[in-house]
Amino acid sequence: MSKAEAHSAAPAHAGLAPACGLRHAAIIMDGNGRWAARRNLPRFVGHKQGVEAVRTTVRAARDMGLEALTLYAFSSENWKRPEDEVSDLMGLLRHFIRADVDEFIANNVRLKIIGNYRVLAPDLVEMIDDIVERTAHNSGTTLVIALNYGAQDELVRATRALAAAAARGEVNADAIEAAHIDAMLDTSDLPPLDLLIRTSGEQRLSNFLLWQAAYAELYFTDTLWPDFDGNSLAEAFQSYATRERRFGGR
Ligand code: FPP
C-alpha cells in the first residue's frame, strides 16, 4: 500500500472496532528512543514524533468507533529516567493537552486519566482537571491517558480503599469478590480491556493494566511507536478479530 493510500485509509476502517467486537484497546507505546537513535537524533525528537503518533492513533480509533483507548504515557517507574527526559515528556504532555483540547471537544472525545497524576506539577494537574471536566459528557471515544501509572500501585490503592471500607463495616472482608476490586480500580467506569498492544518488539507488560489484562488478547508489533498509525491500529484490530476468546472456558 502506498503512503498516500495509507493516509487516506482511516475512513475506510470506519466502524472496524465494533465489527471486530472490540470495545477497549490499550497501547504500551514503546520505541521512541530507538526511532530517534536510528536517525542519529536526540531522544526528544523521538518523543515528539511519538506525540504525532498519539494524535494519528486517537483520530483513527475514533473513526473506527472504539469506545476506549488507553495509552501508557508515563509510568510510575519512568521517574528513574534522567531529569531532562522527564521534563521533556512532561512538556510534551502539557503541550499536547493544551493544543488538542479543541479537537477533543469538536470530536466528542472524553479525556480520562488513570494513575496517581495528582503529584505532577500543579499547573498540569489543574489543566488536566479542567479538560477532564470539559469533556466529561462527551459520548464518543474515551481517551485514557495513564500518567504516573503503575498497575501494582493501582492495586495497592484499591486494596487500601477496600480495607478502609471493611474497617468502617461497609463491606464484609470475607465477602470481597473480584467485582469489589474492579470497582476500586482507576478503570472502573471503562469497558473490559479486550486488546493490549505493545510496539517496538518488546514482549512484556511493564506493570501496565495487570488486573485488567487477565483475559485481554495480546498483540506485539515490531513497529516503533513513532511509526505507528491508523493502518497499524487496523492491523491489530484485524488480528484481534481472528482470536478465539474463551475466558477460561473451552
Ligand atoms: C517509550 O519510548 C515511550 C515512553 C516512555 C513514553 C511515551 C510518551 C509519548 C509517546 C509522548 C507523550 C505522550 C502523550 C500522550 C502526549 P522509549 O523512550 O522507552 O523508547 P526506547 O525503548 O526505544 O528507548
Whether the per-residue pLDDT at 39 is higher than 60: the answer is: yes
Domain layout of the chain by residue ranges: 22-149+192-239
| pLDDT range class, residue 84, cuts 50, 70, 90 | very high
Q: How far is the CA of 247 from the centre of ligand 1 (A)?
A: 31
> In angstroms, rounded to a whole number, what is the distance separating the alpha carbons of residues 113 and 111?
7
- Mean pLDDT confidence for 230-236: 97
Q: Say whether 78 is catalytic.
A: yes
Q: pLDDT > 90: what percent of the chain?
A: 90
Q: What is the pLDDT of residues 172-190, one digit of tens each?
A: 999 999 999 999 999 999 9
Q: Is 51 in the pocket of ligand 1 (CB under 6 A)?
A: yes
pLDDT of residue 80: 95
Q: Is 101 helix (H, G, I), strand (E, B) or coil?
A: helix
> In angstroms, rounded to a whole number, what is the distance separating the alpha carbons of residues 188 and 31?
29
Q: What is the pLDDT of residues 106-162, one digit of tens each?
A: 999 999 999 999 999 999 999 999 999 999 999 999 999 999 999 999 999 999 999
- The H-assigned helical ranges of the chain are 3-8, 16-19, 32-37, 43-63, 83-106, 122-135, 151-167, 178-184, 230-242
Whether the per-residue pLDDT at 9 is higher than 50: the answer is: no
At a CB cut-off of 8 Å and minimum separation 6, what does 235 contact?
221
Whether the per-residue pLDDT at 10 is higher than 50: the answer is: no
pLDDT of residue 6: 47
| pLDDT range class, residue 23, cuts 50, 70, 90 | very high
Residue among 45, 47, 93 whose CB has most ligand 1 atoms within 8 A, to mutate:
47
Considering the candidates 30, 63, 186, 194, report the single residue annotated as catalytic: 30
Q: Which atom of ligand 1 is nearest to the CA of 48?
A: 11
Instruction: Tell me if 22 sits within 8 A of 233, measured CB to CB.
Output: no
Which has the closest alpha carbon to 148: 220, 80, 231? Answer: 80
β partners of residue 26: 70, 196
pLDDT of residue 156: 97
Residue among 28, 30, 72, 204 whose CB has most ligand 1 atoms within 8 A, to mutate:
30
Which has the closest alpha carbon to 24: 132, 142, 146? Answer: 142
Q: Which three cell numbers stand for residue 54?
A: 498519539
pLDDT of residue 11: 65
Q: Is 27 in the pocket of ligand 1 (CB under 6 A)?
A: no
Whether the per-residue pLDDT at 1 is higher than 50: the answer is: no
Instruction: Tell me if 97 sits within 8 A of 56, measured CB to CB.
Output: no
pLDDT of residue 123: 93
> In this structure, which residue's CA is closest to atom 1 in ligand 1?
30
At a CB cut-off of 8 Å and minimum separation 6, what does 129 contact?
none
Q: How far is the CA of 165 from the centre of ligand 1 (A)?
A: 37
Q: How far is the CA of 217 from the centre of ligand 1 (A)?
A: 22
* Residues making up the binding site for Mg(2+): 30, 217
Write down the residue that cell numbers 529516567 correspond to: 81
Domain 22-149+192-239 part of CATH 3.40.50.2000:
no
Q: Is the dihedral of CA 75, 53, 237, 141 positive or negative?
A: positive
Whether the per-residue pLDDT at 62 is higher than 70: the answer is: yes
